[in-house]
Amino acid sequence: MKQVGKVYLVGAGPGDPGLVTVRAKELLNACDAIVYDRLVSLELVVPMPERVQRYFVGKSSSCHSMHQDEINKLLVKLAKQGMTVVRLKGGDPFVFGRGGEEALFLKENGISYEIVPGVTAGIAASAYAGIPITHRKQSVFTVLLTAHEAADKEVTQVPWEWLGKIQHGSIVGYMGVTQLPSVVNKLIEAGMDPNTPAALIERGTTGSQRHISATLADLPGKAAQEGIAPPALFIIGKPVLLSEELDWFGGGVLSGKRMMVTRPADQAFDMYALLREQGAEVLPLPTIRTAAHDDDSGWDEIKGLFELNVRGKAEEWIVFTSENGVRYFIQQLFDRGYDFRFLGRFKIAAMGTGTDRALRLHHLKADFLPTKSTSDVLAAEFSDYIKGKACKVIRVRGNLGDDRIEQSIEEADAVVLPLQVYDTSTAVWDAGMWACLDENPPDVITFTSGSTAAGFKEILGDRGEEIAGNAVIASIGPMTTQIITNEKMKVAIEAKMHSVPGLVEEILNYFRQHKA
């Protein structure tokens, strides 16, 4: 009989992936399945290994991808299949997250569970707007409430009559945009001063965060004027005034910009971080995926070179043309019982700065770099460099590698040993990724290879033209630009240094020059 698994009700925080707890990260790294909400950062979900089953159960005010009773049953079903399940919930699972309901249902069905608290939006979004919800002499307590209870009902569980009379405290209301006029009316009718400071924070802790401040009476009108939309929360109380002095978040070059990253998720952590540091909201929507090539024939062909004790007369080279090539080659080298000592006999050629940077991360240095990071230039210049030297060249590649490099090397009278170490294929998006794109059309789309551009068009089809037409297209280099152009998209930004840092820097330069 299969052992029953366990469900972890995990708080993902309010939007900034950096606010997730260490315990949450541990569980994400070890789980078999993840069941996640709409407001969870995709940076926590998309990079997960393909072995992990993903279930998007996001809800909005107008659409539920799965109703709560169905979510409850899904958790039980997965656990009874013996899985370790992370139920990843925005904010904290026990603060307006219905975590208590899910925990009770798990207990009723004999499923073991653990609660992992998260940073709730009422605390985090307030802090990111520079509003301390408690402050000495101004607010000695805070009330957290759901504004849904403000709708006209015969019976309400929120004591609006009492809340309207409170002093020296703050009120933080979740899900507050639609019901804000009703909330304000109820509080003023109950005796709250219409001039009480108040604020509304949209998409708190993300690069798209906006917040407005006004008197309590004026806040609904200002929210409508500014077009504040869910998800948002309101704060009422004197500490709101401190935001003018303590507002610290935002202001980066990319603040308010939504950046679609098409790079494979397991390679994109540095890129996500670089963009977020400049204020962007990252949309992690990879259009390709890579996996280790599982055919050993290439390694069988070259293992003799690694096992020779005497260096031959011919120069021996390894040619890398991508960061993936470096990553998978090193991984497979060690998997086959070799280590860096076996590379001592080889010289190394790399196609560009990105590939050279990947080598340096492994303490390897390229002996040859072309003047431009293109296949044509590498093929021509490297072939001229080794011509007449009777070289043996291991050409590390993926399944989409450019054959012209091998052909040019052979024409230079060298022996070419192709070694395929990885495969590239079009990414598969789950419902949460589609929902992210639907709700957050990108301002910028970044392409870090020609295959990411081809994958974009394959996934999105005709819809891709509309999305790309409304966005700034950023390319990592001329080869990628050519493929983007072939896919009928217009490139506005091309990196001078053909690497992720180089691409981000060029994006920054573009927006410095195109300030609204």
Active-site annotation holder among 16, 37, 402, 443: 37
Label residue 440 exposed, middle or buried (CB < 10 Å: 0-12, 13-18, 19+): middle
Instruction: From 392, 237, 205, select the one nearest 315 (Cα to Cα).
Output: 392
**CB neighbours of 148 closer than 8 A, spacing ≥ 6?**
175, 179
Q: Give, in order, the Cα–Cα distances in Å from 239 to each of 45, 107, 162, 229, 488.
A: 35, 41, 20, 23, 52
- Positive or negative CA dihedral for 348, 349, 351, 356? positive
Q: Return d(Cα 418, Cα 409) in angstroms, integer.
A: 11
Contact 44, 120 (CB under 8 A): no
Q: Return d(Cα 85, Cα 34) in angstroms, integer.
A: 6
Q: Return d(Cα 64, Cα 81) in angstroms, integer.
A: 25
Active-site annotation holder among 32, 59, 247, 266: 59
Strands 232-236 and 197-202, sheet pairing: antiparallel
**Cα-flanking dihedrals φ and ψ of residue 368, to 5°?**
-140, 130
Whether 389 is a known active-site residue: answer: no
Instruction: From 357, 288, 282, select the one nearest 323 (Cα to Cα).
Output: 357
H or E stretch at 423? strand 415-426
Whether 37 is a known active-site residue: answer: yes
Catalytic residues: 37, 59
